Structure 1
């Protein structure tokens, strides 16, 4: 193996190797992979950093698996806001984890939002025996949670804080770090491929200096439970090259790009568009406030040769990087200066995302016999497989929850017409 024997077929064959002598093995790393991971850990200030060739999805499952191992195999409860990645739900199914959902104080209307405050976290921890807290920050729209405040609450109650930082691998290298490892999280994952120059699937699991020592001992073993025994060496090589970059020129390149993104946001706002979110390397436009849907705006941007990261009925999300040229930014600004804004009210008040009504455990529902129905016919039934849109996002209905009229309204609003039920 591999079958191409290093001969030209796609073009990258000479670098697409497998676990040959001298190449090390990801889940039992002792050689060059271990050395590269140590170099990345130094850059992030973590006690240990572990590579993933299967994105943050693998890291999310591993973080929860590590907490399960620390619990000596007993069933654990995780406190988490609803804006979670599908991998979190899948991990809860596979590991038989109970979830105590943390809801924000006010209502929210976008399934891509739903961040909570330290006060929201404390309210749940004060009445629930959770084994850890899990949060997603940044979220898809570019909002940053108060990780430092949440970490202080978690320390007060003696539980670890886990953070899905998939969209924020670059946050460490801002002039003032906003990375979870510097804000008190015990573990976090970074999707390097989202904001750093890594191949798709390249990600990292970080364990902080103050996390329990036994996390290090079992991390690779837990990752191997969910990961392929044939990880891509092309992806791992890109992570290795990236370790050199973040230890070198990346902070300078990032600072320059952050300044350019701010100018771009200011110009888009000056053209009459509404931008939201605090994340410095994300441009999120509330298109609906200008009388056009996010999907409609995305289609118009494509006419200018611009492909958004995400769009829905309300928003368009764009994710620049230091590898975008000045011409790219000028083209984007030109598009926003020319695209017409109808300035009409598109829809009435958007429905608030409802709290879930639990009728059955997540694992039990996910593995029960299911059938598919039109959403209009699902009222009062139990959700089979969790329904999500963008990733990460607030699941409109989680496995085991009741489908209510409000849930049906939101599903239809996001174009979801069929759903699995028990």
Structure 2
């Protein structure tokens, strides 16, 4: 059986990385301008007998630190050159490649900030809460407004009130639904109060093309989750600092949190992704589709997040589309979110538009009682002739494209005219709620209504807690966690609760 390893896709990846990288783009000039890729490509041509890690011994692409490969922990060759190129593109004093995902970047910038008290929107990623707990940082929780069941960005008034006494403000922009924060205001507020501005841009790596809405234009420290919205391998990310002093602190922090065994294919893909060209044709096509369905698609300013609102039919739509070979990023019981990138092929986007038009038509005509989340039976859409006829009824239409100014303007109106939609969430207590619990126990989720949650949990993605420790578990959240394909904070269908609970 071991002789078959060379036929397994996971091992073919290492042996055929050259062709795999070229599949990202038809423009060979992009690859030729990539320092790490060029090094790997050069040495893959010669004889390479691996008596080093990793243990698969597949060849010269997925390697360890060798005499020619440079070293991410102390770069002085091609990795240093790549990071310098990236820093120039992003406008940072220094940028550091990560092969551990945006989570390592969040932890690193929290550490580098030196903050002891930080203002954070309550719908931040779980890594922010974990990092603050690990580093002993006190969280000042920012309430966020909601619109159509979705948490938006924190308001100016709420942030101005809560930032007093905080060392730093951490904002997620864009969030998982494509909502852009009012970054010019938050920058001015931090300048006024003396707080550092940290931005989790895990979903905004592609926005460096558009400086007016890019995290690096405003932040002191920021993360770019390159693999999410640019053509990089999974776990490829960046963390950056605006000033030399913060860059020095960030270098030390990144050395603590990132792995000492970084993946060279991931590093190469990060450099490649940042140098990947903008896809204006695709952006325009997406914006035209959004403008055509203002009541069906919610737009928060980021074109890569296509949020189709189906309400209580959302899980049914998700399962129907999967049967037709279309896989969305996630479904939250209200929105089905489709994640695009500059590498998305126009032909694939046209296919998605065709399917969504049919779903808008077909599911929009069904009474809500015919397919609720509780009755999520795909049989109601098993008759593909109905969907096919709906597709034929929706012909391709050309719509004018919003200008850059209109796009930026609409993105900044989140505090006035919210437009996106998101998962329902139970009423939350502050993250650091003072609770006394003698013991905790794991009980079946379906039997937990009315009890007190002992561990943050939610949908995965978007990895923002629906329940915090200390929250009362409600029926709606139980239903959502039960219906979702992927969650975090649960174990074997059970949820951690307090046996006894006192609120001081």
Following the alignment from structure 1 to structure 2, what is the Cα–Cα distance between the partners of residues 403 and 55?
29
Aligned residues: 382
Alignment check: 8 A CA contact 1:131 1:159 kept: yes
1:29, distance to aligned residue in structure 2 (A): 1.9
Change (3 A) 1:256 1:177: farther
Task: Give the TM-score of the pair, scaled to structure 1.
Answer: 0.82
Change (3 A) 1:230 1:327: same
- Within the candidate set 191, 198, 214, 1:179 is matched to 214
How far does the alpha carbon of each residue in 1:120-153 deviate from its partner, in whole angstroms, 9 at most, with x for none?
A: 2111123xx2121111111111111111111111
After superposition, the C-alpha distances for 1:305-349 in whole angstroms (9 at most, x for unaligned) are 21111112100111222322232122112212323123434689x
Give the TM-score normalised by structure 2: 0.70
Tell me how far apart the structure 2 counterparts of residues 30 and 45 of structure 1 sit (CA, whole Å). Answer: 21
**Residue in structure 2 matched with residue 278 of structure 1 by the alignment:** 301
How far has the Cα of 1:238 moved from its partner? Answer: 1.1
Q: Out of 188, 191, 197, which is 1:161 matched to?
A: 197
What is the 5 A alignment of 1:319-334? Answer: 319-334=339-354
2:235 corresponds in structure 1 to 201
Q: What RMSD in Å do the two structures reach over aligned CA positions?
A: 2.7
Give runs of aligned pairs for residues 295-374 of structure 1, distance below 5 A: 295-339=315-359, 340-341=362-363, 342-345=365-368, 353-357=426-430, 370-374=440-444
Mean CA deviation greater in 300-309 or 45-54? 300-309
Choose from 216, 222, 230 the match for 2:261: 230
Could you say what secondary structure the match of 1:386 adopts? coil
Match of 1:142 in 2: 178
Aligned to 2:124: 84
Distance in 1 (alpha carbons) for counterparts of 2:98 and 2:289: 33
Residue 257 of structure 1: aligned partner: 282
Contact 1:286 1:315 in 2 (8 A): yes
Larger radius of gyration: 2
Quick one: distance in 1 between partners of 2:151 and 2:343? Answer: 27
Structure 1 residues 3 and 56 mapped into 2: Cα distance closer, same or farther (>3 Å)?
Answer: closer
Secondary structure of the residue aligned to 1:214 is helix
Aligned partners of 2:449 and 2:475 also within 8 Å:
no
Given that 2:176 and 2:462 are in contact with CA atoms closer than 8 Å, whether structure 1 keeps it comes out as yes
Structure 1 residue corresponding to 2:479, chosen from 400, 410, 413: 413
- Rounded to whole Å, the distance in 1 between the matches of 2:431 and 2:303 is 37
336-345 or 21-30: bigger deviation? 336-345
Give the aligned partner of residue 471 of structure 2. Answer: 403
CA shift digits 1:64-106 (9 cap, x unpaired): 11123xx5xxxx11110011112112112211222110013x4
Note closer, same or farther for the CA distance 1:369–1:202 as it changes in structure 2 (3 Å cut). Answer: farther
Does the 8 Å contact 1:193/1:199 carry over to 2?
Answer: yes
Aligned-residue offset at 1:225: 2.0
Aligned position for 2:11: none
Contact 1:47 1:208 (C-alpha < 8 Å) held by counterparts: yes
Q: Which runs of 5+ in 1 are unaligned?
A: 8-12
Indicate if the aligned counterparts of 1:52 and 1:205 stay in contact, CA closer than 8 A.
yes
Indicate yes or no: 2:323 matched with 1:287: no
**2:101 matches 1:55:** yes
Q: Which runs of 5+ in 2 are unaligned?
A: 1-51, 374-422, 483-492, 499-504
Deviation at 1:256, TM superposition (A): 1.8
Q: How far did residue 408 of structure 1 move?
A: 2.1
For 2:248 and 2:89, the matched residues in 1 are separated by: 21
| Corresponding residue SS for 2:141 | strand
Task: Tell me how far apart the structure 1 counterparts of residues 216 and 430 of structure 2 sit (CA, whole Å).
Answer: 34
- How far apart are residue 286 of structure 1 and its match? 1.0
Seen in structure 2, the aligned counterparts of structure 1 residues 344 and 87 have a Cα distance that, compared at 3 Å, is same
